[in-house]
Amino acid sequence: MKTIRMALISVLGASLLAAQVTYERILDADKEPGNWLTYSRSYDSQHYSPLDQIDKSNVNDLELKWVFQADETTKFQSTPLVVDGVIYVTHSPNDIAAMDAATGRVFWRYRHTIPEGISVCCGLVNRGLAILGDSLFMATIDGRLMSFDAKTGSIRWDVKVVDNKDGYALTVSPLVVKDKVVIGTAGGEYGIRGFVDAYDAKTGKHAWRFWTIPGPGEPYHETWEGDSWKRGGGSVWVTGSYDPELNLMYWGTGNPAPDWNADVRPGDNLYTDSVIALDADTGELEWHFQFTPHDWWDWDSVQIPVLVDMEFEGKQRKVILWGNRNAFFYVLDRATGEFLLGKPFAYQTWAVGLDESGRPIVRDGMQPTPEGTKVYPSVQGATNWYAPTYHPRTKLFYLSVWDRYPSIYHKGDATYVRGTRYPGSFPEGIYPDIVKDEEIGFGAIRAIEPVTGERKWEFRLTGVSESGLLSTAGDLIFSGSKEGHFLAVDVDEGKLQWRISLGSRMANSPITYLADGKQLISVASGFGLFTFGLRE
Amino acid sequence: MRSVLTALLAFGLALLLPAQEGDVENPYTSAEDIAAGSRIFRSHCAVCHAIDGSGGRGSDLTSGEFRHGSSTEAIYENIGEGIPGTEMPATFFRGKQLWQLAAYVRSLSEAPQSVADLGVASRGQSLFEGKGGCRNCHQVNGEGARSGPELTYIGGQRSAADLRASLLRPNERVLPKDYTVSAVTKSGQKISGRRLNEDSFSIQLIDTNENLVSLSKQDVSDFSIDKTSSMPAMGEMFSEPEMEDLLAYLVTLQRKGNLQ
User: Residue A455 sits in which domain range?
Assistant: 2-534
The total of structural domains in chain A comes to 1
Segment A395-405 mean pLDDT: 97
CB contact (8 A) between residue A420 and residue B200: no
The Cα of A264 is separated from the nearest Cα of chain B by a number of Å equal to: 16
Distance CA A321, CA A329 (A): 8
Q: Residue A376 and residue A429: Cα distance in Å, rounded?
A: 11
Residue A438 has its nearest CB partner, among B55, B176, B195, at B176
Residue B58: closest C-alpha in chain A:
A431
Provide the pLDDT for residue B49: 85
Three-class DSSP category at B125: helix
Mean pLDDT of chain A: 94
The CA angle A100-A102-A103, to the nearest 5 degrees, is: 70
Q: Say which of B47, B57, B199 has its CB closest to residue A483.
A: B199
Among B43, B172, B174, B223, the residue to mutate for chain A (most A Cβ within 10 A): B43
A68 three-class SS: strand
Residues in chain B: 260
Question: Does position B82 have pLDDT exceeding 70, yes or no?
Answer: yes
What residues of chain B lie within 8 A of the CB of A433, using their CB? 56
What pLDDT does B92 receive? 63
Beta-strand relationship, A470-472 and A48-49: parallel
Q: Where are the alpha helices (DSSP H) in chain B?
A: 3-10, 31-44, 46-49, 72-81, 96-107, 121-129, 154-157, 160-168, 240-251
- Residue A411 and residue A386 in contact, taking contact as beta carbons nearer than 8 Å: no
Does the pLDDT of residue A528 top 60, yes or no? Answer: yes
Q: Which domains does chain B have, with CATH numbers?
A: 3-107 (1.10.760.10), 121-171+231-251 (1.10.760.10), 176-226 (2.30.30.100)
Contacts of A468 (CB under 8 A, 6+ apart): A47, A386, A387, A388, A389, A400, A479, A508, A509, A510
How far is the C-alpha of A203 from the C-alpha of A198, rounded, in Å?
12
In this predicted structure, which of A251-260, A388-397, A443-452, B4-13 has the lowest mean pLDDT?
B4-13
Q: Which of A445, A442, A423 is nearest to A432 (CA)?
A: A442
How would you list the strands of the sheet with A135-139, edge to edge?
Answer: A130-132, A135-139, A144-149, A155-160
Q: pLDDT value at position B69?
A: 84
Phi/psi for B240 (5° steps) reads -60, -45
DSSP B35-84: HHHHHHHHHHTHHHH-TTS--SSSPP-SSS--TT--SHHHHHHHHHH--T
Contacts of B92 in chain A (CB under 8 A): 119, 417, 419-420
Using a CB–CB cutoff of 8 Å, tell me whether A255 touches chain B.
no
Return d(Cα A73, Cα A124) in angstroms, integer.
Answer: 10
Using an 8 Å CB-CB cutoff, list chain B residues near A424.
Answer: 43
Region B219-246: mean pLDDT is 91
For residues B195-207, give the mean pLDDT.
Answer: 92
Query: Which residue in A427, A435, A463 is closest to B196 by CB distance?
Result: A435
Residues 358 to 417 of A: which have CB under 8 A from any B CB?
408, 410, 412-413, 417
Instruction: Give yes or no for residue B154 having a pLDDT over 80.
Output: yes
Largest CA distance in chain A: 70
Query: Hey, CA dihedral for B229, B232, B235, B239, is it positive or negative?
Result: negative
Q: How far is CA A186 from CA A267, A288, B7, B117, B240, in A?
A: 22, 20, 33, 53, 58
Residue B32: CB atoms within 10 A of its CB come to 10
- The answer on pLDDT for B258 being more than 60 is no
Q: Using an 8 Å Cβ cutoff, are B146 and B153 in contact? A: no
ipTM of the complex: 0.86
pLDDT at A4: 54
Give B54's contacts in chain A (Cβ within 8 Å).
Answer: 436
Kindly report the nearest CA distance between residue B42 and chain A, in angstroms.
Answer: 7
Q: Which residues lie below 8 Å from residue B4, measured CB to CB, with a gap of 6+?
A: B76, B77, B80, B81, B94
Distance from CA of B92 to the nearest CA of A (A): 7
Q: What is the model's pLDDT at position B115?
A: 59
**Residue A295: exposed, middle, or buried by beta-carbon count in 10 A (0-12, 13-18, 19+)?**
buried
Per-residue confidence (pLDDT) for residue B257, from 0 to 100: 45
- Cα distances from A109 to residues A20, A148, A153, A157, A272, in angstroms, run 20, 11, 7, 17, 37
Q: Could you write out the DSSP letters of every residue in B79-101?
A: HHH--TTSS-------THHHHHH
DSSP classification of residue A517: T
Q: Which residues in chain A are closer than 8 Å to B176, comparing Cβ atoms? A: 434-438, 440
Give the whole-angstrom CA distance, residue A504 versus residue A75: 10
**Residue B29 DSSP code:** -
Question: What mean pLDDT do residues A211-228 have?
Answer: 97
- pLDDT band at residue B56 under the 50/70/90 scheme: confident
* Whether residue B3 has pLDDT greater than 90: no
Taking one residue from A and the other from B, the number of pairs with CB-CB distance under 8 angstroms is 94
**Chain A residues within 8 A of B196 when measuring between CB atoms:** 435
- Active-site annotation holds for A295: no
Q: Which residues of A touch B55 (CB under 8 A)?
A: 436
Q: Is the pLDDT of residue B57 over 50?
A: yes
Judged against a pLDDT cut of 90, whether residue A474 lies above it is answered with: yes
In chain B, whose CA is at the least distance from the CA of A71?
B85
Nearest residue on chain B to A408, judged by CA atoms?
A: B51
Confidence category of residue A423, pLDDT binned at 50, 70, 90: confident
Q: In chain A, which residues have their Cβ closer than 8 Å to the Cβ of B50? A: 428, 430
A427 to chain B, closest Cα gap in Å? 6
Distances (CA, A) of A315 to A46, A339, A451, A485, A532: 21, 14, 11, 41, 42
State the pLDDT at residue A231. 97
Contact B88, B74 (CB under 8 A): no
- Report the distance separating Cα A370 and Cα A413, nearest Å: 9
CB contact under 8 A, B176 and A426: no
Nearest CB among B81, B85, B198 relative to A434 is that of B198
Instruction: Considering only the beta carbons, identify the residue of B47, B86, B176 that sits closest to A427.
Output: B47
Query: What is chain A's Cα-based Rg?
Result: 22
Pick B43's closest partner by Cβ from A425, A433, A499. Answer: A425
> Chain A, 452-481: which have a CB under 8 Å from a chain B CB?
460-463, 481
- For residue B198, give how far its alpha carbon lies from the nearest alpha carbon of chain A (Å): 7
- Minimum-distance CB partner of B85 among A74, A413, A436: A74
Helix (H) or strand (E) holding A493, with range, is: none
Structure confidence by residue, pLDDT tens digits, A93-132: 999 999 999 999 999 999 999 988 788 888 889 999 999 9
Using the CB atoms, write b or e for B61-71: b if 16+ within 10 Å. Answer: bbbbebeeebb
Q: Parallel, antiparallel, or unpaired for β A195-200 and A206-211?
A: antiparallel
Task: Work out the percent of chain A whose per-residue pLDDT is above 90.
Answer: 86
Q: What is the CATH number of the domain that holds A83?
A: 2.140.10.10
A482 to chain B nearest CA, in Å?
9
Cβ count near B147 (within 10 Å): 20
A116 contacts on B by Cβ (under 8 Å): 1
**Nearest-angstrom CA–CA distance, A423 and B42:** 11
| Chain A residue nearest residue B93, CA to CA | A420
Give, as one character, the DSSP assignment of residue A316: E
A133 vs A150: CA distance, rounded Å: 9
Say whether pLDDT at A515 is over 90: yes
Q: Which residues pair with A499 in a beta bridge?
A: A487
Judged by DSSP in three states, A393 sits in coil
Q: What's the confidence (pLDDT) of residue A167?
A: 93
Distance CA A46, CA A52 (A): 16
Nearest to B44 by CA among B31, B34, B33, B53: B53
B199 with A485: Cβ contact below 8 A: yes
Which chain B residues have any C-beta within 8 angstroms of a chain A C-beta? 1, 42-44, 46-48, 50-51, 54-57, 81-82, 85-87, 89-92, 175-177, 195-201
CA angle (A254 as vertex; A206, A431 as ends), nearest 5: 130
- For CA atoms A59, A64, A65, A71, the dihedral sign is positive
CA distance B243 to chain A (A): 28
Closest Cβ–Cβ partner in A120, A438, A485 for B201 = A485
Contact A334, A312 (CB under 8 A): no
Hey, which residues does A408 pair with through a beta bridge?
A: A374, A428
Nearest to A461 by CA among A505, A406, A401, A407: A401
* SS3 call for B132: coil
How do strand A427-428 and strand A144-149 relate by DSSP bridges?
Answer: unpaired
Q: Are B184 and B220 in contact (CB under 8 A)?
A: yes
Q: B130 CA to chain A: closest CA distance, Å?
A: 31
Please state, in angstroms and rounded to a whole number, the distance separating the CA atoms of residues A255 and A301.
7
d(CA A250, CA B247): 62
Is the pLDDT at B254 greater than 60? The verdict is: yes
Is-contact A323 A388, C-beta < 8 A?
yes
pLDDT computed for residue A6 by the predictor: 53
User: Which ranges of A301-387 would DSSP assign to H, the alpha helix?
Assistant: none
Burial class (CB in 10 A: 0-12, 13-18, 19+), A18: exposed
Residue of A nearest to B40 (CA): A425
Sort out which chain B residues have CB atoms less than 8 A from A167's CB and list them.
none
Which is catalytic among the residues A243, A268, A295, A298?
A298
Residue of B nearest to A115 (CA): B84
